[in-house]
Chain A
Amino acid sequence: MSNLPHTWAIANQKGGVGKTTTAVALGGLLARQGERTLLVDMDPHASMSAYLQCEAGPAGGSWALFAKDRQVWQTEVCQTAIEHLELLPAVSALATVDRQFGSVPGMGRRLAEALQSLGGRYQRVIVDCPPTLGVPMVNALAACERVVSPTQTEFMALRGLQHMQATLAKISHSLGGISAWHVVATLYDPRTHASTVCLQTLREQYAEHLANSVIPMDTQLREASHAGVPPHAWPGARRAARAYDNLLDELLAAETQSQSEGAA
């Protein structure tokens, strides 16, 4: 049996759709189940690092994945306040990775190579991607077996999803393989026409990829992030936490199905 951790990338080429919240929510739930989980913050905004109140060390957190010494990044991993949940934080310098390494062959595989060197240290890795296509996102997409694209239920988010779909097709072409893709409707507010129409559009256009679970608009998610705890651990965010719990069940079921199909 492979020692490689199951790796999911949380990605959408639009900001503000709930990527970081989704990454923390799924990571928190997996850790609660006792799975040793590593969150990787690949976004120069470092929102996930701020959420979980972890700061990068001297080697620059996930920036160190691109350093000459390929093992130094492991010294940057920090334990969060949640048992079984560790984080490789981000730094603003990640924004320069494309300028520095965008023309260097093989730089899109650094995260995948790093995860291969971990042995069985983690069972799960969840990568929070920046909203722009570049070296950090390519690394996440090349390393993962499953891409989860949170999509705000509003018109502009559909455009971001189209870009994401195109990117995934190109990455699959370059890698010669394809990751499973899950679209997750987020920030859903049934009281607004825009939300209901957008959700319907997602169901029609992305039926094959759309998760059944819909993450509702829940202002308590902001309170959870302010407190630095995953949604499931914030009593006020029960609605959203339940939705994320359902989403995790769906993703794990899809993973189990893929494994049994692969074994057959």
Chain B
Amino acid sequence: MSVPSVEPGHEAVLNDYLDALLTPESTAQQEPVDTEPGSHYRLCSASGVALALPEDAVESALPCPPLPTASRADTPWYLGPVECSGRSFEVAHLGRLVAPGLSEQPAAVLLPLRESDWALACDEASQMVSLREQDVRWRKTPGSRSWLAGTVSARRVAVIDVAGMLDIFRSEANLPAVTTEENEK
């Protein structure tokens, strides 16, 4: 079967893409940081911001159903209750919470938070990584962004404090209290 000639650069990119997709997962090369012992995090992005959620705090990743377009002026990140997978979640738009004002894409993934009624709507949540304690510059004193646990400068990722985030939800969305396991730091 002959391959029609195309731009060599294009062809190389496409070949790399297909090779990666078709590499058996058991033999796929992992990024070096993932082979180190550490805590597991789910990487996600929202409004162009890369974020890491402790894997223990996330139930699953679900395809995002249509979300309400209206939101309250004082809490624009709160999208209200949404039905998904036979359950009702209070949904928070992760991008609006962590980076208010940045341009948004339609949310594609819903991340229900374990042992709570809340779920986070985000653009994508595809990768799992292991982060060692020393990889993260942990916040020593709480600031105005109580959802922020720390940052990983090598990956340009913000690590989310899920307990702090749920505190924001509880205090600002004026909903009944929710419970969660303490965020692993």
What would be 5 A-B contacts, judged by CB atoms less than 8 Å apart? A100-B109, A109-B22, A165-B4, A166-B3, A170-B15
Instruction: Decide if A58 touches B86 in the complex (CB within 8 Å).
Output: yes
Q: Which of A21-29, A91-99, A240-248 contacts B (4 or more CB under 8 A)?
A: A91-99
Residues of A within 8 A of B74 (CB): none
Residues of A within 8 A of B22 (CB): 106, 108-109, 138, 142, 171, 174-175
> Which of B1, B20, B63 has a CB less than 8 Å from the CB of A60?
B63
User: How many B residues have CB within 8 A of the partner chain?
Assistant: 34
Q: Is the interface of A mostly helix, strand, loop or mixed?
A: helix
- Please tell me if A263 contacts chain B, counting CB pairs below 8 Å: no
The CB with the most chain A CB atoms within 10 A, among B4, B22, B62, is that of B22
Q: Which residues of A are at the interface with B, using a C-beta cutoff of 8 A?
A: 58-60, 63, 67-69, 91, 93, 96, 99-109, 133, 135, 138, 142, 162, 165-166, 168-175, 178, 181
Chain A min CB distance to B150 (Å) = 25
- Please tell me if B69 contacts chain A, counting CB pairs below 8 Å: no
Chain B min CB distance to A163 (Å) = 8
Question: A-facing mask of B149-167, CB < 8 A → 1, else 0?
Answer: 0000000000000000000
Nearest to B126 among chain A residues (CB) is A100
- Please tell me if B75 contacts chain A, counting CB pairs below 8 Å: no
Q: Which residues of B are at the interface with A, using a C-beta cutoff of 8 A?
A: 1-4, 6, 14-15, 17-26, 28-29, 60-64, 84-86, 108-109, 123-127
Residues of B within 8 A of A106 (CB): 21-26, 28
Instruction: Decide if A101 touches B126 in the complex (CB within 8 Å).
Output: yes
Instruction: Decide if A104 touches B1 in the complex (CB within 8 Å).
Output: no
Residues of A within 8 A of B123 (CB): 99
Chain B min CB distance to A105 (Å) = 3
Chain A min CB distance to B74 (Å) = 30
Nearest to A107 among chain B residues (CB) is B21
Instruction: Decide if A96 touches B124 in the complex (CB within 8 Å).
Output: yes
Residues of A within 8 A of B19 (CB): 174
